[in-house]
């Protein structure tokens, strides 16, 4: 998903800060017999973008999972969610406050300024 989002941003010619672009990934596992099973994965992106790229970035975030081979391969077996913290120019602390279920059910992105 990280690489797919990066490609979606580059394809839209969004000049994001590649040095500060990060993703933190957390997974939940449980024992099943003598093995483990991944139950869920959460990806949190941190991204700095130009202020005029906010709408295009939200569109890239909204569609990046549909183009991600890894997500498409596991979406029916593993619950995958994502959130994104965007820094748009001087507007630091913007949160793309969408704990999105990536099961092919689109939701409209919501953006709020952190106070």
Asked whether residue 107 carries a pLDDT value surpassing 60, the answer given is no
Is 0.85 surpassed by the pTM of this model? Answer: no
Confidence of residue 91 (pLDDT cuts 50, 70, 90): low
HEC profile of the chain: CHHHHHHHHHHCCCCCCCCCCEEEEEEEEEEECCEEEEEEEEEEEEEEECHHHHHHHHHHHHHHHHHCHHHHHHCCCCEEEEEEEEEECCEEEEEEEEEEECCCCCCCCCEEECC
Average pLDDT of the residues of the chain: 81
* Model confidence pLDDT, tens digit, residues 44-82: 999 999 999 999 999 999 999 999 999 999 999 999 999
Domain count for the chain: 1
Range of the domain at 19: 2-113
Q: What is the CATH number of the domain that holds 72?
A: 3.30.300.20
């Amino acid at each position: 998903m990280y690489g797919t989002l990066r490609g979606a941003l580059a394809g839209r010619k969004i000049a994001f800060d590649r040095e500060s672009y990060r993703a933190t990934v957390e997974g939940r596992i449980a024992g099943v017999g003598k093995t483990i099973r991944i139950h869920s994965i959460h990806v949190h992106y941190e991204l700095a973008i130009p202020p005029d790229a906010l709408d295009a970035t939200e569109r890239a975030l909204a569609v990046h999972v549909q183009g991600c081979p890894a997500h498409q391969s596991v979406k029916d077996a593993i619950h995958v969610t994502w959130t994104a913290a965007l820094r748009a120019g001087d507007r630091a602390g913007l949160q793309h406050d969408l704990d999105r279920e990536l099961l092919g059910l689109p939701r409209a992105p919501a953006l709020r300024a952190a106070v």
